[in-house]
Structure 1
């Protein structure tokens, strides 16, 4: 097998057609494709033996593989990437699909409910699991408070200038006192007022380093714990809306397939590294496709992620929408659906600001 995958231009016309038909048949059926079935699909008459030789050449190039010796061929991850980049034909968004998405967003409601409905519609249309990363709340901060709930549990409350309030539970350092809680809250509030969360994290890290001798060490630990709780919350659980995970269990999956899905579900439950989800989309406008191990978020499950950022009225990326499913997704149909959904969410949220 070659170490570097070829470009689509490197393939002969016959190799390109055989490759395209194998991938298209695999994406449609999920099954390996045999040479005999391809003889009936080729644009010009070609013997099964010739097709077998061509498929072997494509296998040597790392574009096709076989589950076992006697089986047909199926695309590798490198083959799917080459197909997506060089041969994928993206269809137009169907009118009924557009209407379904528009209808899900038509009812006026709070942003979380709106994004949940859009995510459910996206999942229903694609038969995959939809991921919607909600926008961060970046209004200036008015006040911060730390409240003790138990020796091992505390609550940090942040009040924004626009009246929005967020609460986060966190584990405080051992030996906290009422005085240390007040000192920590006063320290944070003095620095935080008028700043957004993103700026606050940077400023607080610098201030703690500069003023560590001026504040009680326990209060410093409380500040850092509270800051850490917001760093997690700002990038992970409450911002991610997942709908349609059950769709990933459809079909007659093998035991290995079900194990990959279980790993995927574990990732979704823990929502690890979800801050990376937005980073995946920050490379530029438009839809991006991550196939199998290319997608560091869900690489263990061997799934594909189709993701697109959405922007506010200032053309700033504030969130993302996507679909996760098996690598044999109907990319040509799903790409325009994800693209339209991202544009729709961006327009809706821009109209609320």
Structure 2
């Protein structure tokens, strides 16, 4: 892996200017173009030599023999991590991200509005992944639906009702369904599943719950499933921007749109970005899902009133994204959304 210290100051500046020019134009950048940059006080011949050295390092490549140079994924990563000058948001952009929050704004409405603003400001497709619900629960009930499956009916304190299908033992008697519901109601009523999940599973596994084997299995597997990957939902806005950005590469766009339809895989990608603080940038093949379509993903987690991470938002677009502008927009949108969810 190339580090900034492996490149001298002059080469760094030429590389930075080249990448910025490419991100602005989308076209290969030649030495003649850079020699007209007043910030680079060297000849076109010197610039060509530096570009050749950067190509040997794997930071640049030439799409054609006589063309200029483009940054590789490795080059873009070096630029984003060490050379990019992140811009500040304008007052107009900040106002566009912020919305009036009042008691009638549901979490769902806020998420959809945030996704639309994010897509509009960045001219990319926006993605928001959130937990289906982490509200305090009023009641939970298990109903046998078919061999090997049970329906879980969850009623929340705010009046919402959610139904989920979970796996259940084939020989599960009705009494076990009732016992499981009674056990969870005693521990969940007025509390959220995320608050109690670890305690419940520990209690069941240590046999402190005093449940029979089948009921304990239903409770343990049910709680794990209800708070797992299926507990996430996704909002997508601005798919049309993908067509606008890459109209000349229809096959790449088709692959990207196909990938976006793979809801589970997208959710797995974004929920993996929950770990750690701040904005994360995935460039090209660094993200498994969108690697074939040559796309970049920029994400940031957002939090609830308890400062717990409850979701991830982000944008997806070509690797030629204006990272310096998009990164602070994603970051500030996550900050504002966290504020509104309090």
Task: State whether residues 284 and 294 of structure 2, in contact with CA within 8 Å, keep that contact through their aligned partners in structure 1.
Answer: yes
CA distance in 1, matches of 2:130, 2:255: 27
2:270 corresponds in structure 1 to 277
CA distance in 2, matches of 1:200, 1:23: 49
1:109 corresponds in structure 2 to 105
Quickly say closer, same or farther: Cα 1:144–1:107, change in 2 above 3 A. closer
Q: Residue 294 of structure 1: which of 276, 280, 286 is its match?
A: 286
Work out whether 1:6 is the aligned partner of 2:3: yes
Q: 1:122 offset after TM fit, Å?
A: 0.9
CA distance in 2, matches of 1:138, 1:107: 18
Q: 1:107 offset after TM fit, Å?
A: 9.1
| SS at 1:134 equivalent | strand
2:118 corresponds in structure 1 to 122
Q: Residue 310 of structure 1: which of 284, 287, 302 is its match?
A: 302
| SS at 1:309 equivalent | strand
Work out whether 1:249 is the aligned partner of 2:243: yes
1:82 corresponds in structure 2 to 78
Segments of structure 1 that go 5 or more residues without pairing to the other structure are none
Question: Structure 2-normalised TM-score?
Answer: 0.83
1:93 corresponds in structure 2 to 89
Matches within 5 A, 1:1-353: 4-7=1-4, 9-41=5-37, 43-44=39-40, 46-103=42-99, 108-134=104-130, 137-151=133-147, 154-160=150-156, 165-193=161-189, 196-211=192-207, 215-217=212-214, 219-232=215-228, 235-237=231-233, 240-250=234-244, 251-254=246-249, 257-258=252-253, 260-262=255-257, 264-266=259-261, 269-272=262-265, 274=267, 277-284=270-277, 286-296=278-288, 298-350=290-342
Question: Structure 1-normalised TM-score?
Answer: 0.81
Quickly say closer, same or farther: Cα 1:58–1:34, change in 2 above 3 A. same
Quickly say closer, same or farther: Cα 1:242–1:216, change in 2 above 3 A. same
Q: 1:89 offset after TM fit, Å?
A: 1.9
Q: 1:196 offset after TM fit, Å?
A: 3.3
Task: State whether residues 131 and 232 of structure 2, in contact with CA within 8 Å, keep that contact through their aligned partners in structure 1.
Answer: no
Q: 1:79 offset after TM fit, Å?
A: 1.2
Quickly say closer, same or farther: Cα 1:191–1:67, change in 2 above 3 A. same
Task: State whether residues 281 and 288 of structure 1, in contact with CA within 8 Å, keep that contact through their aligned partners in structure 2.
Answer: no
CA distance in 1, matches of 2:3, 2:32: 26
Q: 1:136 offset after TM fit, Å?
A: 6.8
How many matched pairs?
340
CA distance in 2, matches of 1:149, 1:330: 51
| SS at 1:272 equivalent | helix
Residues 285-335 of structure 1 deviation map (CA, whole Å, 9 limit, x = unaligned): x33323233345644543222222333444443333222222211112112
